[in-house]
Structure 1
Amino acid sequence: MSREHEWVDEEAGPVVRPYAVARGRTQPTSAAVDLLATVVSTGLPAPAKAELSVPHRRLLSSVAGQARPVVEVASELGLPVGVIRVLLGDLLEHGLVTVRPPRDKTASPSESLLREVINGLRAL
């Protein structure tokens, strides 16, 4: 087998290593890009200085118009979460996405409160 076909999968096409997609970077530029954070496009045009790759653009179109968790976007695009976090950090720097941190569990209502609400609704 020639080396030309070593990195090609008939079904998937050319195989690219994840670190190549993230240009060798392993850490996002912003700590706000948490695994469970929610991401949505701002709808702003990309600045002229922004060097957006095809994965950047695919990610941007994936979060256009609806807020989505980082892990869901990674699954849809078929890229590791670490790569998605790096790419999102780039988009965040250019103001192309907004990242909302995951909801704080302490801000969620307790199970007992939810049961009281359900029982109250049943009583109606």
Structure 2
Amino acid sequence: MDPSAERWLDRDAGPVVRPYARTRGRTRPGGPGFELIAVVAATGVPAGDRLRYRPDHARVLRRCAAPVPVVDLASDLGLPIGVVRVLLGDLRDEGLVAVVAEARSAAGRRPPAGVLREVLNGLRAL
């Protein structure tokens, strides 16, 4: 069999750049992490020469022009959540993005009964 016949030349090949290459091998951001539902936004500070990173950093920064939850950011950019967290950590360290709304702890509080009913109905539908 001809080895060149097995090469993938289209989108079926998957991402060309592996996640660890996008983050230079890092799996966690420096400093505190980012919750999935934390809302992040660009600080408005001009990137200038400080954005000396990869194109992925610029994509994240552009998408953060308006506040966006971390999980939606990963989905919109088509990047793994771990990669997005590392990129956000880099941008936060440079003062280019900030968490504008964190998840509130619901310790000791129950969700409303209507929400619990909807969850139960959804589970039953599975």
TM-score, scaled to structure 2:
0.71
Over 3 Å counting, the alpha-carbon distance change for 1:15 and 1:67 in structure 2 is: same
Residue number in structure 2 paired with 1:103: 104
Q: What residue identity is the alignment partner of 1:26?
A: T
State the match for 1:23 in structure 2: 24
- Return 5+ residue gaps in structure 2 as ranges: 114-126
Q: Is the 8 A contact 1:39 1:97 kept in 2?
A: yes
Residue equivalent to 1:118: none
Total equivalences in the alignment: 108
**Percent identity between the aligned chains?**
44
Q: Which runs of 4+ in 1 moved over 3 A?
A: 11-14, 106-110
Runs of at least 5 residues in structure 1 that lack an aligned partner in the other structure: 113-124
Superposed CA RMSD in Å reads 2.7
**TM-score, length-scaled by structure 1:** 0.73
AA aligned to 1:89 is G
1:11 to 2:8 alignment: no
- Superposed CA offset, 1:56-102 (max 9, x none): 000011110x2111010000101100000000000000110011321
The match for 1:69 is 69
> Aligned partners of 2:19, 2:103: CA distance in 1, in Å?
25
- 1:33-72 aligned within 5 A: 33-64=34-65, 66-72=66-72
